[in-house]
Amino acid sequence: MKFFSVPPSKNQILKTLSEITSTIYLENVGRSYGSADAQTTALKGVNLTIQEGESLAIVGPSGSGKSTLLHLVGALDAPSEGKVIVAGRDLSQLNDREASKYRREETGFVFQLFNLIPTLSALDNVALPARLAGQSMNESNDRALRLLERVGLADRKDSPPDSLSGGQQQRVAIARALINDPKIILADEPTGALDSQAGQQVLDLLLDLVEEKNVTLLLATHSEDAVKRMNRVIRIEDGEVISSAKR
């Protein structure tokens, strides 16, 4: 938040509001688990600013805190200390209903193991978040079908997940993440379970979305190929951000 020594002009106010709306701030963020006698520190002293439309690779050894960082930005978890501020809001101050609305409408999650519901078709998997957000069956189905077309799987709309390849399942998961037009995509090792060709297709799709819709992409990855294609890369070790560099 900016503070003005003299009354701000309309342009200054609009610029400040724009910066608040478009930016993710982590201010001295820490996250610990367990009791005082047996405590595990996942993150400590993280300060980070992520601009709207940025593609950010988060790299580091397994257990370094990459997934925890994504969970905090996605309001799946809350910091033990510090603040995570998105669109001018401190996520730790959201109540359960507000946090659920934020996760459902403003973020899209893509996980390594897809997390598709095995008893639902590809279409129903994609449409489910929209239905939970209150869209009608017809409206959510129409939107889900358009997204399946976007990821090249309209012809598999009636297929259950176990009849799809890993790359196809991940594309369904990306379509599901996009159903409510999120401003932020949080991708946790989205290519980790895929072969190189399928992994490149998934990266192509995610980066196309960044360019076309100005979506902010946070990608936790071990893939050097993925890192090379991001705007910026940060490295986390032992819960601390030790470097940040533009690509």
* SS3 at position 157: coil
Query: What pLDDT digit, counting tens, does each position of 115-163 carry?
Result: 999 999 999 999 999 998 899 999 999 999 999 998 999 999 999 999 9
Q: What is the structure's pLDDT at 196?
A: 87
Tell me, yes or no, whether 85 lies in a domain.
no
Looking up tokens 């403003």 gives 106
Tell me, yes or no, whether 154 lies in a domain.
yes
Tell me, yes or no, whether 227 lies in a domain.
yes
* Selection from 207, 244, 245, 243 nearest residue 225 by Cα: 207
- Low-confidence residues in the chain, pLDDT < 70: 1-22
- The dihedral through the CA atoms of 81, 84, 89, 95 has a sign that is negative
Q: Which residues contact 199 (CB under 8 A, 6 or more apart)?
A: 167, 191, 223, 225, 226
* Selection from 50, 182, 216, 176 nearest residue 107 by Cα: 182
Distance CA(15)–CA(227), nearest Å, equals 31
Q: What is the structure's pLDDT at 14?
A: 39
Tell me, yes or no, whether 9 lies in a domain.
no
- In angstroms, what CA-CA distances link 121 with 30, 100, 115, 138, 171? 40, 24, 13, 16, 14
Report the CATH number at residue 160: 3.40.50.300
Encoded tokens for 232: 């910026």
Distance CA(169)–CA(149), nearest Å, equals 14
* Phi, psi (rounded to 5 degrees) for 240: -120, 140
Looking up tokens 């590809």 gives 122
Tell me, yes or no, whether 57 lies in a domain.
yes
**190-201 burial: b if 16+ Cβ within 10 Å, else e:** bbbbbeeebbbb
Tell me, yes or no, whether 58 lies in a domain.
yes
Q: What is the structure's pLDDT at 213?
A: 86
Give how many domains the chain has, as a whole number: 1
Q: In which domain, by residue range, is 147 found?
A: 53-75+95-246
Tell me, yes or no, whether 17 lies in a domain.
no
Distance CA(109)–CA(162), nearest Å, equals 20
Tell me, yes or no, whether 36 lies in a domain.
no
Which amino acid would we find at residue 155? D
Q: Which residues contact 165 (CB under 8 A, 6 or more apart)?
A: 198
Which amino acid would we find at residue 100? S
Q: What is the structure's pLDDT at 15?
A: 43
Encoded tokens for 205: 């799709």
